[in-house]
Copies of this chain bind each other. A is one copy, B any other.
Amino acid sequence: MNASTIPLDALNAEVVAIFRNVGFSAAQAAALARGIVAGERDGCKSHGIYRIAGCLRTLKAGKVVPDAEPVLADTDGAIVRIDAKGGFANLAFVRGLPEFVSRTRALGMAALVVNDCTHFSALWPEIEDITAHGLAGLAMCPSYATVAPAGGIRPLLGTNPFAFGWPRRDAPPYVFDFATSVVARGEIELFRRAGDPLPDGWAIDADGNPTDDPDAALAGAMLPFGGHKGSAIATMIELLAGAMIGDFTSDEALDFLGSTAIAPRHGELILAFDPSRFAGGRGDPLARGERFIAAIADQGARLPGQRRHAARARSLAHGIKLTPAERAELDRLRRDGLDAVD
């Protein structure tokens, strides 16, 4: 194996060590590392090693509790609630999952509410933890205000991810996970660095006018995907996974943080459905799902998650390829800890 390839276990150990070194508890470090390694394993570089520095920045800014112990509340009907106590969401999700799955099996459907968590990365790893139990899952959360509602002139919404998964018996689950903004903020930053104009419909300037200037866009607001329809979904996420669960909406999260350079504090709403209960004896829902998914693939359309699962198979077989910059970043973060970040 050459110096630029690393087995998954070894990468996991390195990432855990970085987090432990700056004060995260063993449980928090393990849950964070799992997410980062999953990003690298699945070829989502934007959710892999790249994210470690942001976690450290958030800790350095005093906006995340590194040794938080999530507290599970008494289950209320179909609602399982876990208080992340200001830690990253990952550990809270893992700790709430058994009761969430159990409640979904008991009632056919349940909700997991995560309160007072700090956002980390993507929602699809959580969705895959749900589909692994043969359940369908839906997850959503606010972010911080960087997106204007359709017809609006200033940031109010977050990039508000929306993720869904459907279980499959003999294939990786059918999973999508996307920002409800046209693009992630990092995309606009890439255009700025390259000196390229933005495509139409991505952003508005500080006066609320359409702009193709990345600097003006960063000072203004991004736009939701899909016009007023995508905007409507982003507002639904603010209401259900912010106002309803007693947690920050995206504008409140930005007020609390004062910066978009660190991870947003918010809550998260996750729903799970037991297909066998919902089918109520009307056939085999997973077999029906397979027929439908095959009909997508048969016409040459790409299945969501397909690229990730192909990358995963390669990573499991051959390890993860690291660029020299990624290798150096791991070493720097391990050596310098919080001094490595602003």
Name the residue on B nearest A115 (C-beta). B282
- Give the size of the chain A interface in residues (CB under 8 angstroms): 78
Q: Is the interface of A mostly helix, strand, loop or mixed?
A: mixed
Inter-chain CA distance A247–B60, complex, in Å, is 52
A106 closest partner in B (C-beta)? B77
Among A78, A176, A240: residue with most chain B CB under 10 A: A78
Could you give, for residues 244-282 of chain A, a 1 whenever the CB lies within 8 Å of some chain B CB and a 0 otherwise? 111101010000000000000000010101010111111
Among A137-161, those with CB < 8 Å from B are 138, 148-154, 156
Q: Is A285 an interface residue (CB 8 A)?
A: yes
Q: Decide yes or no whether A296 CB sits under 8 A from chain B.
A: yes
Within 8 A of B (CB), among A92-132: 106-111, 113, 115
Give A contacts to B, CB under 8 Å: 73, 76-79, 81, 106-111, 113, 115, 136, 138, 148-154, 156, 162, 164, 166, 174, 176, 178, 180, 208, 225-233, 235-236, 238-240, 242-247, 249, 251, 269, 271, 273, 275, 277-283, 285-286, 288-289, 291-292, 295-296, 299-302, 304
Q: Which A-B residue pairs are the 3 nearest by beta carbons?
A: A246-B282, A226-B226, A77-B107
